């Protein structure tokens, strides 16, 4: 065999070997999102964002020779279904990490599966109990509700609005928020003058709000996810209640403004920065990621990217970073996630550690107000 032919054969073999390695060794990632059902306003942008960023990574050549293979299942927001699908992702699909689920209740149900099977789970849900106490295989990208409560209470304290009524939904997200509202109140000099709940499927909350009106609060805080908070906003207006209304970050999307209509005007809530990305100063370390995400989402889906989709974007990018640092298995991805330092994402600047699997500080939130059916930063 002459030298030229020999070199050609070696080159062909090398190319075939490289191609086969690339094709044969994808990094399989699972996605559990509530694409349908009441929580679809969370799950749909999460699914869209995860697909968008994985496609872009693969088009750019993958990560260190590996493609990312995203396997998504729709949980419909059902905890039992989420557990079944998490098991399927691990046992049948052989994923090395799972992104999601979309809600706190689903996540709490799936945690034992991820822990038992030793597969890292990066939740897109806000409940503080997901990562507190720290669980070895569980991380999250959604800002903790404890930080959201603190952001509202800081504002109320400065405004000297210390007598507060709370109205929380009776699900995992609402229960976690209610616990934080009650436990943090005294720290900020807040007195909770009434404490009521509503069901996730309730369509009228005038009874609870009539009772709240009788307690003469200086402010009302509603803790829930769509569509309930939009109903509450309308009921507040119908009853002529003048106390300012605050919402949780669980409704930080244009969907809430659409559902609440004119009743959304003037409502304040803590939100991830993505909804006001263009209003941020150029010095904000998240702005580059935020603007890139907003533009990409608009290009792909002809809609505004919101901070729910951002939770999934962050999760994929955190896994990408882990793989870039040499991880290629469930255990090594987990280890690399825990070493994350100063990752400027959509939800905030993430720094995980063995003692912190939430990774965010209170600067992950801005307080926003709805004005003229759009967002404005509360100064």
The angle, 0 to 180 degrees and rounded to 10, between the axes of the packed helices 206-214 and 228-238 is 50
Nearest to 166 by CA among 256, 265, 102, 243: 243
Residues 202 and 82 in one domain: no
Please indicate, yes or no, whether residues 229 and 373 belong to a single structural domain of this protein.
yes
| Stretches in the chain below the pLDDT threshold 70 | 1-24
DSSP for residue 36:
S
Percentages helix, strand, coil for the chain (3-state, rounded to 5) are 50, 20, 30
Omega cis (within 30) before 227: yes
**Are 172 and 238 within one domain?**
yes
| Residue 93 within any structural domain of the chain | yes
195 with 304, same domain: the answer is no
Residues whose CB falls within 8 Å of the CB of residue 133, separated by 6 or more in sequence, listed in order: none
Q: Does residue 250 sit within a domain?
A: yes
- How far is Cα 74 from Cα 322, in angstroms, rounded to an integer? 26
Residue 191 included in any domain: yes
For the whole model, what pTM was predicted? 0.85
Domain assignment present for 282: no
**Is 65 within the bounds of a domain?**
yes
185 and 271, same domain (yes or no):
yes
pLDDT at 317: 97
* Gyration radius of the chain's alpha carbons: 22
Confidence (pLDDT) at 59 = 96
Long-range contacts, 254-260 (Cβ 8 Å, 24+): 254/304, 254/306, 255/41, 255/226, 256/226, 256/229, 256/230, 257/370, 257/373, 257/374, 259/226, 259/227, 259/230, 260/229, 260/230, 260/233, 260/234
Same domain, 268 and 201: yes
CB contact at 8 A, 349 and 362: no
- Among residues 295, 241, 270, the alpha carbon closest in space to that of 348 is found at 270
Q: For residues 140 and 114, is the Cβ–Cβ distance under 8 A?
A: no
Domain membership of residue 2 (yes or no) is no
Tell me the C-alpha to C-alpha distance, in Å, between residue 71 and each of 89, 94, 96, 97, 235.
8, 10, 11, 11, 41
Dump pLDDT digits (tens) for 144-197: 999 999 999 999 999 999 999 999 999 989 999 999 999 999 999 999 999 999
Residues 150 and 138 in one domain: no
Same domain as 111, residue 150:
no
Specify the CATH number for the domain of residue 340: 3.40.50.2300
294 in a domain, yes or no?
yes
Contact partners, residue 336, CB within 8 Å, separation at least 6: 321, 322, 323, 325, 326, 327
Residues 185 and 322 in one domain: no
Q: Are residues 269 and 369 in the same domain?
A: yes
Q: Is residue 4 part of a domain?
A: no
Report pLDDT for 307: 87
Burial of 28 (0-12, 13-18, 19+ CB in 10 A): middle
* Same-domain pairing of 369 and 341: no
- The number of domains in the chain is 2
Give the domain range for residue 69: 9-143+287-362
> For residue 19, what pLDDT is reported?
46
Q: What would you measure as the largest C-alpha separation in the chain, in angstroms?
A: 96
Task: Identify the pLDDT of residue 10.
Answer: 54
Identify whether residues 49 and 120 lie together within a single domain. yes
């Amino acid at each position: 065999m002459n030298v030229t032919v020999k070199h050609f054969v070696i080159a062909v073999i090398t190319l075939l070997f490289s191609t086969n390695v690339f094709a044969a060794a994808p990094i399989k990632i699972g996605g559990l999102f509530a694409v349908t059902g009441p929580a679809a306003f969370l799950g749909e942008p999460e699914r869209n964002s995860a697909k968008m960023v994985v496609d872009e990574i693969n088009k750019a050549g993958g990560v260190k020779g590996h493609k990312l293979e995203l396997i998504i299942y729709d949980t419909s927001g059902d905890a039992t279904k989420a557990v079944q699908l998490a098991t399927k992702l691990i046992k049948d699909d052989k994923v090395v990490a799972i992104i999601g689920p979309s809600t706190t209740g689903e996540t709490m149900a799936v945690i034992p599966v991820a822990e038992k099977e030793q597969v890292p789970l990066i939740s897109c849900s806000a409940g503080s109990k997901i990562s507190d106490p720290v669980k070895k295989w569980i991380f999250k990208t959604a800002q903790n509700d404890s930080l959201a409560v603190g952001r509202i209470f800081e504002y109320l304290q400065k405004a000297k609005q210390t007598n507060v009524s709370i109205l929380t939904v009776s699900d995992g997200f609402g229960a976690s928020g209610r616990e934080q509202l009650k436990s943090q109140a005294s720290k900020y000099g807040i007195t909770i003058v009434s404490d009521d709940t509503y069901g996730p499927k309730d369509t009228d909350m005038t009874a609870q709000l009539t009772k709240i009106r009788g307690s003469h609060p200086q402010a009302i805080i509603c803790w829930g996810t769509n569509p309930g908070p939009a109903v509450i906003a309308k009921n507040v207006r119908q009853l002529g209640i003048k106390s300012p209304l605050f919402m949780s970050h669980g409704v930080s999307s244009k969907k809430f403004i659409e559902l609440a209509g004119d009743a959304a005007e003037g409502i304040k809530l803590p939100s991830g920065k993505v909804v006001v990305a263009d209003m941020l100063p150029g010095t904000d370390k998240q702005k580059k990621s935020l603007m890139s995400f907003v533009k990409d989402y608009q290009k792909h889906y002809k809609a505004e990217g919101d901070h729910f989709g951002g939770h999934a974007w962050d999760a994929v990018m955190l896994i990408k970073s882990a793989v870039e640092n040499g991880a290629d298995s469930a255990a090594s991805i987990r280890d690399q996630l825990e070493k994350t330092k100063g990752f400027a994402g959509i939800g905030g600047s993430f720094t995980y550690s063995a003692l912190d699997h939430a990774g965010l500080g209170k600067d992950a939130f801005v307080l926003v107000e709805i004005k003229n059916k759009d967002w404005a930063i509360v100064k």
